[in-house]
Amino acid sequence: MTTTSRVPVTLVTRAAPGVEVRDLTVVYKTPLGELPALRGVSMIVEPGTITGIVGESGSGKSTLALSLLNAVQPPGRIAGGSVEIDGLGDVLTLGGEELRQARGRHLGYVFQAAQNSLNPLKTVGKQLLDLGRSHGVRDGRALVRDAMSLLERMGLDGARVLDSHQHQLSGGMRQRVGIMLALVLNAHLVILDEPTTALDMITQATILRIVREVHQERGLTTLMVTHDIGVAAEVTDRLAVMYGGRLVEHGPTREVLGAPRHPYTQGLIQAIPRLSGDITQARALPGRPPTLGTLPSAGCVFRERCPRRMDVCETDDPLAVAHGDRSVACHAVELPTPGVRVERATPAARVPSGAEEDHT
Ligand SMILES: Nc1ncnc2c1ncn2[C@@H]1O[C@H](COP(=O)(O)OP(=O)(O)OP(=O)(O)O)[C@@H](O)[C@H]1O
């Protein structure tokens, strides 16, 4: 990723953008005061990759996704850090029309509960044309063609869906409309927050295949929030594991799932029931994830549930240690050879902006 100074949104490069999140802190106002939902999160997203953001409910996944769009709403507030996106600069410094144009045209997104986000008074087709117009799309017919083709690939009757109102579509159909709307303006950074939660297993598999295909065809950088490790395993190249507002482990999906290093990642994987073999081997993580009010203000956020807890975990928040293109934030993890203790979870090698890379 190039460290960009601010450039006008219209000059944006169309190649898959890299993203660098640096020291991001987001707080929510609560009766106990402002409490951090994200604390010092740093992460690099390589251009052209699909990164899964996983973790239990409340770990900060959606807050991170919203921050990438500079869309955290009160009672939340971005209290510190930066989100540099190739071609856009630090999105946290964008506002007004610049930010509106960036969203949709350059940053496509499907928020959680996308199935409820359509306007009940307008047909999907009308909303599509409104969206196009508000982003300066001149060729409405081409936009409709592209939308129909995306919908049809997701197993829907495109013409019928565009003619429908929200109440005429099932939850799963609306979810797919949300995905179409995120992709149809040709954004090159796409953020999907739980894109398949309302879908049955077969439809979910179809959608994941299409997300992957469209990602490759269009040269996207994709971030997918999911609480479902199976979904992440199926579709992502890299995995970012969050706990209590911290990024605790990050690396290539196969390596993180095959040889998890952080005790939390190990616990998450052990908790997945297997379809074959001994199902009694699935072991739920003991305890519950913290809420904003129960997060410890010092030491490791995971220590209460950690089987490898040590004295230092009570007092020192572990920094991310990068080793190759993996990083882990845990006092108890011994790396194969001495790692470099760094504040930021930075992969060793960065691919230049827009460079092609085989991540399979
Ligand atoms: N509007 C809000 N006001 C107060 N606290 C909030 C608000 N939104 C989120 N939080 C808190 O911030 C923390 C992170 O929430 P976030 O929704 O980002 O987590 P998540 O990992 O996406 O969870 P889920 O999988 O349940 O969506 C949680 O403790 C949550 O309760």
96-105 vs 124-134: helix crossing angle, rounded to 10: 130
What Å distances lie between residue 211 and 109, 192, 196, 229, CA to CA? 12, 10, 11, 16
Q: Which domains does the chain have, with CATH numbers?
A: 19-106+188-201+219-341 (3.40.50.300), 117-186 (no CATH)
Q: Which residue, by CA, sits nearest to atom 16 of ligand 1?
A: 60
The answer to whether 128 and 143 have CB atoms below 8 angstroms apart is yes
Phi, psi angle pair for 261, to nearest 5°: -105, -40
The residue to mutate among 63, 196, 288, 291, having the most atoms of ligand 1 within 8 angstroms of its beta carbon, is 63
Tokens of 225: 């929030």
Write down the pLDDT at residue 103: 86
Local confidence band at 275 (pLDDT 50, 70, 90 cut-offs): low
pLDDT band at 115 (very low <50, low <70, confident <90, very high): low
Ligand 1, atom 5: closest residue by C-alpha:
28
pTM of the model: 0.86
pLDDT digits (tens, 9 = 90+) for 27-74: 999 999 999 999 999 999 999 999 999 999 999 999 999 999 999 999
Cα of 178 vs centre of ligand 1, distance in Å, is 21
Which amino acid is residue 118, in one-letter code? Answer: L
To the nearest whole number, what is the mean pLDDT of the chain? Answer: 85
Maximum average pLDDT range among 3-12, 90-99, 268-277: 90-99
Q: Measure 62 CA to ligand 1 centroid, in angstroms.
A: 7
| Residue 116 reports pLDDT greater than 90 | no
Q: Which of 104-113, 191-200, 261-270 has the highest average model confidence (pLDDT)? A: 261-270
How many Å apart are CA 312 and CA 102, to the nearest integer?
A: 44
> Residue 147: CB partners within 8 Å, gap ≥ 6?
125, 128, 158, 162, 180, 184
What pLDDT, on a 0 to 100 scale, did the predictor assign at position 225?
A: 95
Please report the atom of ligand 1 found closest to the CA of residue 59. 21
Q: Is the pLDDT of residue 290 over 70?
A: yes
pLDDT for residue 111 is more than 80 = no
Give the mean model confidence (pLDDT) for residues 206-235.
91
The Cβ-side half-sphere exposure at 232, using a 13 Å CA radius, reads: 29
**pLDDT > 70: what percent of the chain?**
85
What is the CA 29 to chain-centroid distance, rounded? 23
Distance from C-alpha of 89 to C-alpha of 7, rounded to nearest angstrom: 7
CB distance 294 to ligand 1 below 6 Å? no
Mean pLDDT of 246-250: 97
Ligand 1 pocket, 170 CB below 6 A? Answer: no
Span 146-159, average pLDDT: 94
Q: Is residue 289 a contact partner of residue 238, using CB atoms and an 8 Å limit?
A: no
CA of 356 to the centre of ligand 1 (A): 35
User: Which ipTM score applies to this complex?
Assistant: 0.98
Mutate to test the pocket of ligand 1, among 292, 294, 301 (most ligand atoms within 8 A of CB): 292
Nearest CA to ligand 1 atom 14: 60
Q: Is 231 in the pocket of ligand 1 (CB under 6 A)?
A: no
Task: Say how far apart CA 83 and CA 142 lie, in whole Å.
Answer: 32
355 pLDDT exceeds 90?
no
| Dist. CA 229–CA 244, nearest whole Å | 17
